[in-house]
Structure 1
Amino acid sequence: MYYEIEDELGNVSTIQLKDREAEHSLTVLKNGDLAPLFYLKNEEGAAITSLTGFSLSNDARSIIDLLQFKPLVLSFYCNCWGSYAPKHLAVVQKLAPQVEALGGQLLILTNESQKEIERISRKLETELPIYHDKDYNVARSYGVYSETSPIWDRIAGISEEVFTPSLFVIGKDRRIAYNFVDENFDNTPDTKAILKEVYDWKYKK
């Protein structure tokens, strides 16, 4: 885009302004997409995720290991969502025993520190597996975190790098069976749809 600018002496000059770099829209996983591979492991006593299979401890498990016998409900969560955070966590906590009763499993990934994870865990009525998503790598691969389209640039009250609130059901074939991504922070996951997908995957051959 070109602009003509006149200075105090009446001299006119033309400058070109570069368009703002286009924000890369998040490529959120859709139903039927193959869920990206990641690993769960312990590092110095902290439960973290990794995208590589290198230098992993013997107790590291990949998403393939998790899905070998059970479908997975995967939720991304951050305390820094403000008033939205406890609502989302309450839904996930209520969902967990129902998912387990139907033969599924639930996992929470967060960008919180290990100390904060321990604090969250103490407040929960039921024990939930919570892992730190190291460097936002898993969230990025699932399309719910982007440096070029930060949430703090769109949502009032958030001033740091965070995930987009989201939840996925992943079948035993590693395909996405249900996705919930709340870019506007104004919705909640459809628990009936989630439980239906978990139930259906349990009985699929």
Structure 2
Amino acid sequence: MTLQEKLDAFKADFEAGKPPYNVPPSVIATMHRATAELIASNAAGLALKAADKAPAFILNDPDDRPISSVSLLTNGPLVLSFYRGVWCPYCNMELQALQESLASFQDLGASVVAISPQNSVNSRKSVRQNALDFPILSDAHNDVAAAFGLRFALPDYLVALYKSLKNDLPNFNGDNSWTLPMPARYVIGQDGTILYAEVNPDYTRRPEPSDMLPALRRALQKNSNAV
């Protein structure tokens, strides 16, 4: 199955209220409303796109070691995934798909990192639960996500729903802002230029890992020609 097929299968069971989810229709309707409003806002249209320059960043990995995008790019292109957190099943399935494709990325000289607003404790949990061999970086307050044009504030009615479901973002993130990044995937070239960008305000939709391979192959060819 493709990543999106797995996400669609999970979504169908979740929204049908099948065990163990047992989610009432009113919860699903609220989630659909929030997604529709985010799509209608055109927030994704304001995010960074291919050919834009990616902002440099330094963020801590799960062991609180600083990781610099500039340093990563000295070794090759960078595959970058922004995701919401360990509490999001769609995000976890995406991380697992990236892990399954990790060797393909590395064969093309690329590094892979994921970025979320969660604290280091929850990043360690994400790495452990998803058996990842690439780091998850903690983006406090979604500041790096904002630099990419991805940060958005949850509407009050969605905050109320999350609280009722015990989905305590301030506890997960160590931040009381109730903001999240739109899920996004980027390939960044060694000169800092974005070679591939996919941003979707619908968190149930994610690009396939293989979608990034053409951009990575072009980057590899460009570097080979420059030598």
Same fold by TM-score, threshold 0.5 exceeded?
A: yes
| 1:102 alignment counterpart | 108
| 2:85 alignment counterpart | 79
SS of 1:98's equivalent in the other structure is helix
Matches within 5 A, 1:28-47: 28-41=47-60, 46-47=64-65
Deviations 1:82-120 (A, max 9, x none): 332222222222222221122111011111121111111
| 1:16 alignment counterpart | none
Moved over 6 A (4+): 151-155
Decide whether the 8 Å contact of 2:76 with 2:111 is kept in 1.
yes
* Counterpart-to-counterpart distance in 2, 1:25 and 1:162: 12
Decide whether the 8 Å contact of 1:80 with 1:158 is kept in 2.
no
Structure 2 segments unaligned to the other structure (5+ residues): 1-40, 164-177
Which structure has more strand as a fraction of its residues?
1
| 1:163 alignment counterpart | 181
Q: Cα distance 1:79–1:135, how it changes in 2: closer, same or farther (>3 A)? A: closer
**More off after superposition, 88-97 vs 103-112:** 88-97
RMSD: 2.9
Structure 1 segments unaligned to the other structure (5+ residues): 1-22, 48-59
Deviations 1:135-190 (A, max 9, x none): 2110000111123xx377689x7564321111100011211111111211232213
Deviations 1:32-79 (A, max 9, x none): 000011113579x524xxxxxxxxxxxx55322211230000111223
Q: Cα distance 1:33–1:180, how it changes in 2: closer, same or farther (>3 A)? A: same
What displacement does 1:124 show? 2.7
* Counterpart-to-counterpart distance in 2, 1:192 and 1:37: 25
Instruction: Find 1:184's aligned residue among 196, 199, 202.
Output: 202
SS of 2:195's equivalent in the other structure is strand
What displacement does 1:132 show? 0.4
* Counterpart-to-counterpart distance in 1, 2:155 and 2:130: 26
SS of 2:104's equivalent in the other structure is helix
Residue 146, structure 1, aligned to residue 160, structure 2: no
Q: Percent identity?
A: 25
Q: Cα distance 1:69–1:151, how it changes in 2: closer, same or farther (>3 A)? A: farther
Decide whether the 8 Å contact of 1:68 with 1:172 is kept in 2.
yes
Decide whether the 8 Å contact of 1:170 with 1:176 is kept in 2.
yes
Pairs aligned (count): 168
Task: Letter of the 2:130 partner, please give it.
Answer: L
Larger Rg computed on CA atoms:
1
| 2:27 alignment counterpart | none
* Counterpart-to-counterpart distance in 2, 1:108 and 1:164: 13
